[in-house]
Amino acid sequence: MSQQKPTSHTTSQDQTAFAQKHTIGRRSILSGAAGLGSLSLFSAANATEKAFTQRTNTPSLLDPVSQYPTSPFPQQPQSWPGLQSHMTPRPDCGENSYKGSGRLKGRKALITGGDSGIGRAIAIAYAREGADIAINYLPQEESDAQEVAALIRKAGGKAITIAGDLRHEAFCKKLVATAARELGGLDILVNNAGRQHYCEDILDLTTEQFDWTLKTNIYALFWLVKAAIPHLPKGSSIINTSSRNAYDPSKILVDYAMTKAGIANMTHSLAKQLLPRGIRVNAVAPGPFWTPLQVCGAQPQSVVEHFGAETEYQRPGQPVEIAPLYVTLASSESSYVTGQVWGITGGNGVPG
C-alpha cells in the first residue's frame, strides 16, 4: 500500500522562534499597564499561537489514486462464497480507519452479506456511527462474520449474527423477524448480499446457475422488503446494492447484470410506492471493489490479477471508500433523497 507521509512546512527552529516571540510579548504586556488594550493584545497573541499550533498539527491529505493497492494482484481462487481473511491483500473495510460522529445513533439496521467486503464496511461504519446491527451471511462465512460482530461490539453497538441462505423465502421472513426482535426494532434495511459468477457462453449457463443468481439477487430483495415494511417506522431507509453492470453490462455476466439492472429499476419503483409511508429507498451502484466476491468465481483469475486497472484510478475501490455513502443514505440528513441510484465506479461517471 502506497501512502504519502504527512508533511509539515515548519521546522523546530520556526516553532522555537515563534514561542520565544510571543512569550516576550506576553511578558511585556503583563509588566506594563493592565488596561483593556493590553488584554486585547494578550488575547490576540494567544489566538495566533493557537492557530499556529492547529496548522502545524494538521495531517496532510492523501492522494486518492495511490492511497490503496494497485494491480497486479496474485491469483487466489477460492471456493464459493470466499473468505475475506484468506485474501491477499486483505480488503480494507475501515477496521482501523473509519471514525464515526454519531450520525446513526440509536438506529437499528439489518445488513445482508455483512460478513465481508462492502457489507462488512457498512456494518463497521454503522456501528461507529452509533447503530445496533444484525448481519446475515452464509454458514461458510462464520469466521468472517464473528470478526465483524466483535468490531461492532467494540464500537459499543449490539451485534446480532444470523446465518442462512437468502434463496429461501421462509428464511428471509425469519431473518427480518429475528433482527427486529433482537434489535428491538428495525429502521434500516441494507440489501447487499449478491451472487456473481462469470460464464463466457450463454450456452454454458445452466438453469440452476441462472436460478441461483436470480433467487439471491432479486427474489431475496423482494422477500426481505415485504417482510421489513411492517417493522419500518416513518423515517426509515432501505438501501439496495446495484452495480455498474446495470448500466454497462459485462458480456460474461449476463445473469448478474440483468439482476443488477432489475435492482436499480425496483429501487425507482419502490421509492415512489413507499414514500407515502415515510420510507426512503435508494441504491448504490459500485464499480470494481476488492471483495471476496471477485476471487471465488465472479471473474476469471486473469481478470482478478489486473482487477480495477481499467478505471481512471487504475485500481479497484476498497470497501471503506464506499461505506460513507451507505451512511449518508441511511442518515436522516438525507431526508429529501429517495429513488436515487448513486454510482461509485472509479471515475467513469456511470450511472449519472
Q: Which residues are marked as active site?
A: 256
Spatial contact of 40 and 56, defined as CB atoms under 8 Å apart: no
Instruction: List, edge to edge, every strand of the sheet that includes 341-344.
Output: 159-163, 132-137, 108-112, 188-191, 237-241, 280-286, 341-344
Q: How far is CA 106 from the centre of its chain?
A: 19
H/E stretch holding 237 reads: strand 237-241
What is the rounded CA–CA span in Å between residue 51 and residue 31? Answer: 25
Spatial contact of 120 and 131, defined as CB atoms under 8 Å apart: no
In DSSP terms, which residues pair with 8 in a beta bridge? none
What is the rounded CA–CA span in Å between residue 11 and residue 246? Answer: 52
Cα dihedral 10→11→12→16 (10° resolution): -60
Spatial contact of 180 and 223, defined as CB atoms under 8 Å apart: no
Q: How many residues does the chain have?
A: 352
Q: For residues 193-224, b (16+ Cβ closer than 10 Å) or e, as one string? A: bbbbbbbeeeeebeeeebebbbbbbbbbbebb
Helix ranges, 168-253 (H): 169-183, 207-214, 220-228
Cβ-in-10-Å burial (0-12, 13-18, 19+) of 313 comes to buried
